[in-house]
Amino acid sequence: MGAAKMSARRRRAVPWLVLGLWIVVLVAVSPFASKLADVQRDRAVDYLPASADSTQVAKIQERLPGGEATQMVVVYHRDGGLTAADKATAAGQIGRIADAHTLTAEPRGIASKDGTTVMYPVASTEPGTDEKARDRLVNDVRDIAKGEDGLGVEVGGEGALATDAGEVYDSLGGPLLYTTAAVVALLLIVIYRSPLLWLVPLGVAGMSEFLARAVAYGLNQGFGTSVTGQSGGIMTILVFGAGTDYALLLVSRYREELRRTERPYDAMAAALKGCGPAVVASSGTVAAGLLCLLAADLNSSRGMGPLGTVGVLVALAAMMTLLPAVLVLLGRRVFWPLVPRYGSTPKVRRSLFAAMGSSAGRRPLTVLAGGAVLLGALALGVLNLPGSLKQEDSFTSKPDAVAAMGTLAEAYPERGTQPVTVITPADRADATLATVRGTQGVDSARKERTGDGWTEISVTAKDAPQSAGETATIKALRAELDGSYVGGPSAQQLDLKDTNSRDRMIVVPIVLVSVLLILVVLLRSLVAPLLLVAAVVAVWAAALGIGGLVFGPVFGFEGTDPGLGLLSFVFLVALGVDYGIFLMHRMREESLAGAEPVTAALTALRTTGGVIASAGLVLAATFAVLTNMPLVQLVELGFVIAVGVLLDTFLVRTYLVTSAAVALRRKVWWPGALSREPEPPVRAERQPEPV
């Protein structure tokens, strides 16, 4: 009797203890969670490759007198041609800008050949590395440079573009969080058909996101992990997407156990024992895949690895501790009106996944061949992907800086309109300047600042920004100049493209090997892990191919983000294997219970198909939220991952993997013990009856 009372007290105390502990933790970290936005940086150096020339230029510029220079171009334009009054207005406004701010050089107007435009390059070191001061400078220049009587005035250049991009990134936090939460809430209401139940996982996911922000801030302060608008947004998506997926699996298993177990505490313990290992293993696989991004040379990719891992692991901790505690405290009534009564039997219906399993079971090889052909055909769309994304094409709308770049491109098609920066040792500045001026493709060059042993040289190319001609000029400068660094906006874009290609060659194999090893240990097989990895790679290729079919023709995008291939691969492989683990773990569980291979595969699909489909829909919807963001690279990444998750959920995971398991039968578990035929039961020899 005493033992029974102690057990009852424990059942009542443990959930309250867990809930209290979470409240204490959230209160303790609240001062740090709100500081994550303060350490978010979206400067070029925060995205650039760690070892690239353009990164070294940006770092050395910070140490020059006045710090990093803010480069702008003030553009005056009139379609019918600039009048004398227009030119006087422009000169007067530029004079006021020079009087109000300390500029690195006196601005000189450069008129276009057709007489419609005059541009004034303007640079100031007043802000240094302070992004807020940079934004104030750019906005002040825009306040002074105003058009009148049909005279158009735009402020572009690297500094203005950084300010416009910063405003976009700053605007992501709130809308991204609220939109994601709203999408998840809507889907949970549809899935659960309960006025109360959907609030529990959504609330737990919100608390997870709050804690993840605090942990991310701690990583930044303790280890210098870079935090950008992109990585912070992805972390929020992962917390809600992956966390809700884990909640769906746990709640589904908990509902089953409530029909078999009288007390909610015991039912939850059985549910955690049943699905907990698969959830922990799948989240560990996602975390391991994301941590492989630490091998990337690109700062933005390398910083996204730890932040994404934090999001997944914090979501796992919350869904395996806080969610069970809250559900147990609320009892069965949280499922109202579809309350799972003790001893009741759910209505047996022929589900979609049972029908899909039947067709896969009857003709597994035909299904496999058809699916492979379909995925291969979709993957051919990769050939239609647009070229590398230019800076001016990275926004879904046109901020002032992008409009200025468009005006410059039309008015000055024959020359560069943004500087290429050369940083050279100060004792070789004159010789370097002479070499620069003699390099093919250079229109003009001049020294600007000297300090800390370095001299800055501003170079104007003969060709338009990010054109093939300007790219050739940058490569020629780097080849000619030994011991100097070549940077600037166009050089940064070139380095981003080259480094992403290098990162793909290194990170992709690491991800594949890491995920494969984890699956081998988890499933105790070689064939099943190879099957799952091959499936997710096929999904990635097909999703990227669909992107190639719609990015240009449908969305009107002028380019593809250089990092799209690598990031979409890491996320789709890690998250796709996540669902594969749920299916194969249940298949292995059925096989261990004595089911025949075909029966085990079809039973696993029938029992997990619905919850995996729900989880896939939620995850795809959360990443689809990115398609509503104002940055092309986020739209492209969100689209590819969302499409890939849907392909994986409704085609690859259900039809192809199940068909392969049916076709391979016990060989899918080779060389593990399950791959061998069970020995027939041994019959006892009949003894002769005694006489």
Answer yes or no: do 204 and 293 share one domain.
yes
At which of 469, 490, 511 does a domain end? 490
Confidence of residue 686 (pLDDT cuts 50, 70, 90): very low
Residue 641 lies in a domain: yes
User: Does residue 571 surpass a pLDDT of 50?
Assistant: yes
Lowest mean pLDDT among 113-127, 164-178, 451-465, 567-581: 164-178
Answer yes or no: do 569 and 644 share one domain.
yes
User: Does residue 207 surpass a pLDDT of 90?
Assistant: yes
Lowest mean pLDDT among 380-384, 496-500, 564-568: 496-500
Look up residue 565 and give its two tokens.
Answer: 């291939």
Q: What is the pLDDT of residue 543?
A: 95
Distance, CA of 595 to CA of 598 (rounded, Å): 8
Answer yes or no: do 335 and 306 share one domain.
yes
Residue 690 lies in a domain: no
At which of 490, 524, 539 does a domain end? 490
Residue 572 lies in a domain: yes
Domain range for 80 is 69-169
Answer yes or no: do 219 and 302 share one domain.
yes
Answer yes or no: do 118 and 152 share one domain.
yes
Confidence of residue 542 (pLDDT cuts 50, 70, 90): very high
668 contacts: CB under 8 Å, gap ≥ 6: 525, 527, 528, 531, 597, 660, 661, 675
CATH number of the domain within which 547 lies: 1.20.1640.10
pTM to 2 decimals?
A: 0.83
Q: What is the mean pLDDT of residues 345-361?
A: 62
Cβ contact 289:43 at 8 Å: no
Domain count, the chain: 4
DSSP bridge partners of 119: 75, 110
CATH number of the domain within which 431 lies: 3.30.70.920
Residue 59 lies in a domain: no
Q: What is the pLDDT of residue 354?
A: 60
Answer yes or no: do 233 and 284 share one domain.
yes
Q: What is the pLDDT of residue 352?
A: 60
Answer yes or no: do 150 and 190 share one domain.
no
Residue 38 lies in a domain: no
The chain-wide mean pLDDT, for the chain, equals 84
622 contacts: CB under 8 Å, gap ≥ 6: 180, 183, 184, 237, 240, 241, 244
Q: What is the mean pLDDT of residues 39-65?
A: 80
Q: What percent of the chain clears pLDDT 70, i.e. is strictly above it? A: 91
Answer yes or no: do 481 and 518 share one domain.
no
Look up residue 441 and give its two tokens.
Answer: 């493709």
Residue 664 lies in a domain: yes
CATH number of the domain within which 124 lies: 3.30.70
110-111 sheet: strands from edge to edge: 110-111, 117-124, 70-77, 152-156
At which of 490, 522, 539 does a domain end? 490
Give whole-number Cα distances, 448 to 13, 69, 602, in Å.
70, 11, 72
**Tokens 């600042």 belong to residue:** 449
Mind listing the pLDDT tens digit for each residue in 591-649?
A: 887 778 788 888 888 777 777 888 888 888 888 888 888 888 889 999 999 999 999 88
Mind listing the pLDDT tens digit for each residue in 6-50?
A: 566 666 788 899 999 999 999 999 899 888 888 887 766 677 787
Answer yes or no: do 84 and 186 share one domain.
no
Answer yes or no: do 309 and 386 share one domain.
no
Residue 651 lies in a domain: yes
Radius of gyration from C-alpha coordinates of the chain: 30
Answer yes or no: do 136 and 182 share one domain.
no
Residue 390 lies in a domain: yes
CA 50 to chain centre: 19
Answer yes or no: do 466 and 536 share one domain.
no
